[in-house]
Each structure stands twice: as C-alpha cells, then as structure tokens.
Structure 1
Amino acid sequence: MKKIYFIALICSLFLASCSSEPSLQKYFVEKTENKNFIAVDVSPEILNIEKTKLTPEQSEALKSFEKMNILAFKLDSTNNAQYDIEKAKVSAILKNEKYQKLMSFGSGKDGVTISFVGEEENIEEFVVYAKSKETGFAVVRILGDKMNSTHIMNMLSVIQNSNMDLDQLKPLQSMFPKK
C-alpha cells in the first residue's frame, strides 16, 4: 500500500512540475515545422572572431552568450489572418511577468520590443520581438549564462568587429525581398 502512495506522490509531483503555461520555448518548438515560419539556431561561432584581439570585457561578454534562436513568420498575401493570430500569441506570451520589458519603439503595426528573463545582473535570456505589417515578424531569443546589460553592449562591439559567417542566416533571406 505504501508503494501505491509513493507512486501517486511521484506522479503528482511530476505532473505539477509540467507547466501548461505558454512560453517562447514551447512556441518555438510548436512552430518550427510550420510552413509559415522560418526557424534558425545560431551558435557563437557565427561571429568568427579572433579571441586574442578581444578586450577582457568583450571576452567575458562572449563567454556569457550560449546561443541565439530566431523564429520568423513570413507574411504573404495568403496568410494575413494567421499573421494576426500568431502575432497575438507572441504578444500574450511576452506579457507574462517573467518577461521584463526593457524598451520598445515603433508604431502599432511596425515596431520592436526588447525584453529579458532573469535578474538585471543574471539575465538568462534576451528577447527581441520585431514586427512589420509588410514582411511579418521575428522573435529572437538570445540565451546565455549570467548575462547583463553591459554584456549586451560589449557583444555589440564584438559583432561590429567580427567576420560574421552568414551561412547560418541564409534561411532568413527569403524574409527580405530583393529590390
């Protein structure tokens, strides 16, 4: 009889730990195979930098960066209604108190929001959400370990001086029509 209670306890703990609450991670997994979406995972190697030329601050920032996940919804004449539904889903997820908004700019139809998860000195994830009524939207998750806002600023300088390997970003080229 004790075994049954023990098994029931373990099962209830397991089920309680499984959150049905929507998250960006779940959203990314669900949409990866959807034809309206383009998913790209980017590793730090995309920067293709000579680490010996980095300042100590830049090295520390680079160490805190683990990977970047990009999910983009490509808008076309056939999926306007789906665009509105998906855009609302992402906005609802980002309204969760777990995502702390740093800044946003733009208008109602076009704009960018930058949020983070974690504490100011121990950021686990930066989220950039950009939307355009002409091309669609993209959600970028920058994942790391003990990141902070200074690391992001230092990473920007690393990116500017990098010899970026753009092959990892090729799937996103279809988002931007050639003119």
Structure 2
Amino acid sequence: MKPIFKTIVFTLLIAVALVSCKDESSIENYFVDHQDKPEFLTIDFAPDMLDISEVDFSEDQKKIYKSYDKVNALAFKVTENNKEEYKAELKKAIAIFKNDKYEELIEFTDSGINFRVNTLGEADTVDEFLVLASTSELGFALIRVLGDDMQPEKLYELIFKIQKTDVYGNQLQKVMDYLKE
C-alpha cells in the first residue's frame, strides 16, 4: 500500500509543479484563453495566403518575406457596454508586453492609435514580433508574427513595399471592419 501512496503523492507533486510553471503572462496563453470569446475576433493566416503576385520583390525581399511563417491576430472591439472590460483586457495585454522575455522594439502613436512592438529572439534575427495597437474609440488588436530569423531592420522596407501595392487593403479589411462596426 505504501508504494501506491508514494506514487500518487509523487504524481500529484509533478502535476502541481507543471501547472505552476505555466507562464500566465505569455502571448500564447492570452490568445488561447480569448480566441473563443464572443467579444474577440481571431484571425490566423500564413503569408502564403496573401496574394503578393502584384508585388515586385527583389531576391533579397523574397528571402525576407519567406522568413515569416504565420500571423495571429486577436481584436477586441470596444462598445458603450464593455468599456470596463476593454480597460481590463487592455491592461492584461500591456502586462504581457512588459514580460521580461519580450524585448521592446518601439512604442509610438500614429493617427490616435497607440502602438507597441516587441520582439522575441536575438537583436538581428527575431523569431517573433508582437504588435499591440489600441485606441479607446475602436478597441485593441494583438498581432503575433512568427518566423525564423526575421530581420527587424528589413521589416519596414517589406511592409512599405506591400502597402504600396495594397495587398493588405482587401485581405486584412476584416479586422478593421470588425473594429469599426
């Protein structure tokens, strides 16, 4: 009987240790915990899903583009009825961005929208970009870009090139429409 008791106690201790090690302030957990809630819109897509046939990429830009694997977006729309919930959820999202494992890249405001951009990985080869865009009128969106050895200094050039061709104009309009409704 004693060996069974020891096994049960040992198993319980391991289970408690594993559960207590869960990183509550990670972006992954925030996405998982909120993706099925009705006040959130979730979009997951791979860069392959974007029609970039109209974009004239150089060979270097193609290589950079291929370093991006997946984009996750989670948006919360603020309404008259959920302003307190908006504030609470935004506070949680900001706390994630303050997690020591993420390095702050930039924080700025443009056209009344507050942006925070953080990274995970080495300074010149990033494995994850996190973007938090928020405004008290519309709500907030969390965007997680996953890849392999992405280069932050080349990202702006790539985004500018894609924007100029309006690739995102039609394909990411769903997030903006959701927030504006």
- Scaled to the shorter chain, the TM-score interval is 0.7 to 0.9
- Equivalent pairs counted in the alignment come to 171
Q: How far does residue 17 in structure 1 lie from its aligned partner after superposition?
A: 9.2
Change (3 A) 1:99 1:172: same
Residue in structure 2 matched with residue 15 of structure 1 by the alignment: 18
Change (3 A) 1:45 1:162: farther
Q: Is contact 1:71–1:138 with CA below 8 Å preserved after alignment? A: yes
Residue in structure 2 matched with residue 88 of structure 1 by the alignment: 91
Change (3 A) 1:75 1:16: closer
Instruction: Give % identity.
Output: 30
Q: Structure 2 length as normaliser, TM-score?
A: 0.80
Change (3 A) 1:16 1:51: farther
**Aligned-partner SS, 1:50:** coil
Runs of 5+ consecutive residues of structure 1 not aligned to the other structure? none
**Larger relative contact order (C-alpha < 8 A, sep ≥ 6)?**
1
Change (3 A) 1:151 1:158: same
Aligned-partner Cα distance in 2 for 1:16–1:79: 31
Aligned-partner Cα distance in 2 for 1:82–1:101: 25
The CA RMSD measured in Å over matched residues stands at 2.9
Residue in structure 2 matched with residue 77 of structure 1 by the alignment: 80
Q: In the alignment, does 2:52 pair up with 1:59?
A: no
Residue in structure 1 matched with residue 48 of structure 2 by the alignment: 45
Q: In the alignment, does 2:179 pair up with 1:175?
A: yes
Q: In the alignment, does 2:164 pair up with 1:126?
A: no
Aligned-partner Cα distance in 2 for 1:52–1:175: 28
Q: How far does residue 68 in structure 1 lie from its aligned partner after superposition?
A: 0.9
Q: Structure 1 length as normaliser, TM-score?
A: 0.81
Runs of 5+ consecutive residues of structure 2 not aligned to the other structure? none
